[in-house]
Structure 1
Amino acid sequence: MYTFVKILSSAAIIGIVTEVARRFPTYGGIIAALPLVSILSIIWLTVQSESSEHIQRFTVGVLVGLPATMVMLFVIYMAMKSSIHIVFAIGLGVVSWVLFLGIQKAIAGVFHISI
């Protein structure tokens, strides 16, 4: 039952954000930038009785992924601004995300920081 409710509520949020973005692109982008997925995930993990330590590790993972996500969105924006087709722009963004995470992990390894 949890899975069905999670899928339904997540789909509803995505649908609402998309409709707002269609009518008001800037506001839609601001709403999309909200940590809705992170907050929903924390709520569902709590409802499913995950430990506080587990949820804390999840939150650290979100923080670790945030810079790479920012890079990905910037690359997609720049690619689209350069008239690159959306499919290729997203592809470049995903590649930049993977590369940034790899670089981030390598730097963390040099400084003996566990990610």
Structure 2
Amino acid sequence: MVWIKLFTSAVIIALVTEFAKKFPLYGGIIAALPLISLLSIFWLTIQGETIKQIQTFTMGVIIGLPATIIMLLVIYVMLKNSFSFLIAFLAGVASWGFLLAIQKLIFVKFNLHL
């Protein structure tokens, strides 16, 4: 089963990146689709995971969205301002981790449970 998941996922990613080479804007829009989330939910279901586990996974995706949006904005702005890809990438990942840490502190401070 792992090989089927790897192959299917790799083919989808390869197709999206090839499409993005020819049509970068539309490739980005397609890449923004919840492909990974939906594939993960599909594979979790096929593997027989419980609805509760899939629900918890889905909430994790929702919680991760703000940090992902900030990461992508940081990368975009830095690339637009002529920073190297590596610096923009590292700053984006750092901002992602920082925002997730801030979210965790907020959840702990306000005793929020998921």
Q: Mark yes or no: TM-score above 0.5.
A: yes
* Aligned-partner Cα distance in 1 for 2:87–2:33: 25
Per the TM alignment, residue 28 of structure 1 is displaced from its structure 2 partner at its CA by: 0.2
After TM superposition, the score normalised by the length of structure 1 is: 0.96
Per the TM alignment, residue 114 of structure 1 is displaced from its structure 2 partner at its CA by: 2.5
Residue 46 (structure 2) aligns with: 47
Which 4+ stretches in 1 moved above 3 angstroms? none
Please, what is the CA RMSD of the aligned residues? 0.8
Please state if 1:29 is matched with 2:33.
no
* Aligned-partner Cα distance in 2 for 1:16–1:104: 34
After TM superposition, the score normalised by the length of structure 2 is: 0.97
* Aligned-partner Cα distance in 1 for 2:100–2:113: 13
For this pair of structures, how many residues does the alignment match? Answer: 114
Structure 1: gaps spanning 5 or more residues = none
Residue 78 (structure 2) aligns with: 79
* Aligned-partner Cα distance in 1 for 2:107–2:49: 27
The one-character-per-residue Cα deviations of 1:38-79 (angstroms, maximum 9, x if unpaired) are 000000000000000000000000000010000000000011
